[in-house]
Amino acid sequence: MTLAVAARRCRSLSILAIAGVLAGLPGIGMAQTKPIDDLLLQAQVAMSKGHPEDAVNLLRRAIDQAPDRADLYLLRSRARDASGKYDAALDDATKYIALKPDDPAGYLNRARIYSSQEKNAEALRDADKAIVIAPREADGYFRRADIYTDMGKLAEARADEKKAEELDK
């Protein structure tokens, strides 16, 4: 595993941690969201321990209670992806995008799933969309570099890696 790949994986876990922190911030209806936030936290723990199926079950319960919580779909998408349930993961990723169309995380997540399925055209489309939304963030360029590498477009991959590394400084 290259250092860049390891860094991207750590960044993905950081996104999960940030989502958990944001979900727990005080807000309107805090008492109503606590049970859902507890399920989210339990799901994050299950994922960190390598139990994506447990996370999926916890998140199903949370989504039943709060079907408009985008963060729940994002994590469940990642858990389903980790379980090899790519079509279900894509459904959740698409639901997240529908709820938060201006968040590049949804497109990057869906691009990763498409890459797992070797659907490079779709993955590239989503990585490009993430870059359009957040051109000053490295994640989109790293994801697109991975896709270009899978496609054998090594010059494009190197250019995106370089751009991502510049943005990461």
* Local confidence band at 3 (pLDDT 50, 70, 90 cut-offs): very low
pTM of the shown model: 0.79
| pLDDT at 106 exceeding the cut of 60 | yes
In the prediction, which pLDDT does 169 show? 84
* Local confidence band at 33 (pLDDT 50, 70, 90 cut-offs): confident
Closest alpha carbon to 125 in 136, 110, 137, 139: 110
| pLDDT at 66 exceeding the cut of 60 | yes
What DSSP state is assigned to residue 83? T
% of the chain exceeding 70 in pLDDT = 81
Contact 136, 167 (CB under 8 A): yes
Tallying the residues shown for the chain, one arrives at: 169
